[in-house]
Amino acid sequence: MEALKEMDALKEVDANDTYENDLPADVALDCKAEKIYYSDFLAVRDSHVPIKKNQITGFIGPSGCGKSTVLKSINRMNDLIRGFRFVGNIHFHGIDIYDSNIDPVSVRRNIGMVFQQPNPFSMSIFENVAFGLRLNRYKGNMQEKVEKALRSAALWKEVKDKLKNNGLSLSGGQQQRLCIARAIATEPRVILMDEPCSALDPIATRQIEELMVELKKQFTVAIVTHNMQQAMRVADQTAFFGVDISKGGRTGYLVEMGPTKELFENPQEQLTKEYLQGEFS
Ligand SMILES: Nc1ncnc2c1ncn2[C@@H]1O[C@H](COP(=O)(O)OP(=O)(O)O)[C@@H](O)[C@H]1O
Ligand SMILES: [Mg+2]
C-alpha cells in the first residue's frame, strides 16, 4: 500500500523533487518489457525503452511489431484485455507500475493516453475536459482548470464561446485537441499518444505536432507514429521496433533506440537501415 500512496502523492510533489530510485536523472519512466503476451501469443520480447523527461519519444516500425502493445502497457491500458500478460517492469518515480499493490487507475491518472481516433464523449466541450477532474473529485475552480487545459491544448480560442456545444460537433483536428485537453486536465506526468494524427488532414496534423512540441515543456510525451517524417519533425528520441519471424511466430522487439537524428542518419543495425531505406526510397 505504501507504493500506491506514493503514486497518489506524486501529484503534490514538485517535479524537481528527486525520488529515491536508480534511474538516470533524465529518465521519467523506464519500460523494461521482457515479454508481453496476449494469451499464449508472444507479441513483444526484449524491449527496454527508457522515456526521457520533457522529451518526445517516438515509436516506429512496421505494422504489427508491437508499438501499440508497448505504449499501452506503459499505463496498464492492456490490463483491460483478457489474456494480456506483461513480464518485466516499468519504473516510474521510484515505483514499479506493475507491482501487485499498484492501482492501475492511479497509474492512468499519472500517465494519460490519447488514441488514434479522436474519441470525445457525447457531452459538452466543457464537460469533456472536466470529466477526469470530476472522476478524481476535484474540489477547486473547475472553470479555471478547464480553461487552462484548453489553452494548453491550443483549443481555447476556437471554443471559448461554445463550451456548451457537444464535443462531437468539432472538426477532427479540434476533437483530437479536445482529447488532449481532457488528458492533460488532470495534470499527468506522462502523455502517451498512439498515432494521434493518422485520422487527421495535413493541417490538423501540423497543429497537433506543434502542440506536442509545446506540451513537452510541461509533460513527458511518447508517441507511436507510422509516419517517419513526423518522427523526424517531433521526436527527440526514436525507438525502432522490428518483427522476429525466426521462430515461426511474429514477435516484436526493440531493434535500436537513440536520439532521432542519429537513428535516422547513422543507424547501427542493418534492419533499421533497410527499413529506413524502404521508407525513404
Ligand atoms: N488484443 C489483442 N489480442 C491478441 N493479439 C493482439 C491484440 N492486440 C494486438 N495483438 C497482436 O500483437 C501484435 C502487435 O500488435 P500491435 O501492438 O498492435 O502492433 P503495432 O501497433 O506495431 O502495429 C500483432 O501481432 C497483433 O496482431
Ligand atoms: Mg498500433
Which domains are assigned to the chain? Answer: 2-119+189-280 (3.40.50.300)
**To test ligand 1's pocket by mutation, which of 31, 69, 255 has the most ligand atoms within 8 angstroms of CB?**
69
Q: How many CB atoms lie within 10 A of CB 132?
A: 21
Asked whether the beta carbons of 185 and 151 are under 8 A apart, the reply is: no
Q: Which pLDDT tens digit goes with each residue over 154-169? A: 999 999 999 999 999 9
For residue 115, which ligand has an atom nearest its CA? 2
Phi, psi of 82 (to 5 degrees): -65, 135
Residue nearest to atom 4 of ligand 1 (CA): 38
pTM for the model = 0.91
Query: Which residues in the chain come in under a pLDDT of 50?
Result: 1-2, 4-5, 10-20
CB-based burial label for 46 (10 Å; 0-12, 13-18, 19+): middle
Cα 241 to Cα 43, 138, 186, 211, distances in angstroms: 12, 39, 31, 25
Residue nearest to atom 14 of ligand 1 (CA): 66
Q: Which pLDDT tens digit goes with each residue over 81-140? A: 999 999 999 999 889 999 999 999 889 989 999 999 999 999 999 999 999 999 888 999
Pocket of ligand 1 (CB under 6 A): 38, 41, 43, 61, 63-69, 81, 250, 252
